[in-house]
Copies of this chain bind each other. A is one copy, B any other.
Amino acid sequence: MQSYPTKLLEQAVHELTRLPGIGRKTAIRMALHLLKRPAVEVESLGTAIIRLRTEIHYCSRCMNISEEEVCAICSNHKRDQHQICVVEDIRDVMAIENTNQYNGLYHILGGIISPIEGVSPQDLNIESLLNRIRPEGIREIILALPTTIEGDTTNFFLFRKLKPYEIMLTAIARGVSVGDDLEHADEVTLGRSILNRTPYESLLNRK
């Protein structure tokens, strides 16, 4: 049982270890680092954490985090309002936005179906996705979930739910990573990339 010189340190270490991937030793290192920093800097860290959790809103349409009732992406009328890209979480929105290749809307599921982790369809923002299709006149839904078994399971679940709506349903391409040698791609990926080959000219038109 570790003894701490003060309760304040013990408390801070205990709280820091609740962060993902932070064990006791790392938490102690962080706490001792904070002790050496200017008080104003540490206060601004503590305040930023608290404000993040207490002042954040979720967009009532796409479930992305937002400072307003409707997020900046959903309320941007320069974006295609009839196209929804379905993603697992906010990180995926940030990653796709960084590509500058997508100009539609998003819908954040808040997870993917995983019996092992106890995540079932009811835990995900699926109803709210279905409720958007008719009122918003959605024409295409792009499934951009992880290319894992859980992602595939969720894709198939959504496929069955979305079929009655008779809209275009697509999924992100799976294939050899850009910049990779073929020998480094795994067999399944390489096999798929041959089965789902694309017209060569479509590569030429992309930047």
Contact A66 B6 (CB under 8 A): yes
Stretch at the interface among A87-95, A135-143, A178-186: A87-95
Q: Is A115's CB within 8 Å of the partner chain B?
A: no
Interface size on A, residues (CB 8 A): 58
B43 touches A53 (CB 8 A): yes
The yes or no answer to A154 lying at the interface (CB within 8 A) is no
Choice from B9, B20, B71 contacting A65 with Cβ under 8 Å: B9
A112 to chain B, nearest CB (A): 14
Which B residues touch A49, using CB under 8 A?
A: 12, 15-16, 34, 42, 45-46, 49
Verify A46–B50 contact, CB threshold 8 A. yes
Residues of B close to A16: CB separation below 8 A: 45, 48-49
CB distance from A69 to the nearest CB of B (A): 13
Give Cα A50 to B16, complex, Å: 12
Q: Is A113 part of the binding interface, using a Cβ–Cβ cutoff of 8 Å?
A: no
Q: Is A41 an interface residue (CB 8 A)?
A: yes
A80 at interface by CB-CB < 8 Å: no
Q: List residues of chain B with CB within 8 A of the CB of A2.
A: 94, 98
Check: A101 CB closer than 8 A to any chain B CB. no
A4 CA to B52 CA, complexed, in Å:
13
Q: Which residue of B lies closest to A56 (CB)?
A: B8
* A7 contacts B by Cβ under 8 Å: yes
Q: Which of B39, B56, B65 contacts A53 (CB 8 A)?
A: B39
Q: Are B3 and A97 in contact (CB under 8 A)?
A: yes
**Are the CB atoms of B20 and A89 closer together than 8 Å?**
no
Tell whether A44 is near chain B: CB-to-CB under 8 Å. Answer: yes
Give A20 Cβ to nearest chain B Cβ, in Å: 5
B5 in contact with A94 (CB, 8 Å): yes
Q: Which residues of A are at the interface with B, using a C-beta cutoff of 8 A?
A: 2-9, 11-12, 14-16, 18-21, 26, 28-35, 37, 39, 41-56, 64-67, 71-73, 89-91, 93-94, 97-98
List 28 contacting pairs A-B, 8 Å CB cutoff, sorted by A: A2-B98, A5-B65, A6-B67, A8-B52, A8-B55, A8-B56, A8-B67, A9-B90, A11-B48, A11-B52, A12-B49, A12-B51, A15-B45, A15-B49, A16-B45, A18-B41, A19-B45, A21-B26, A28-B91, A34-B52, A35-B53, A42-B49, A42-B50, A42-B54, A43-B53, A45-B49, A46-B46, A49-B49
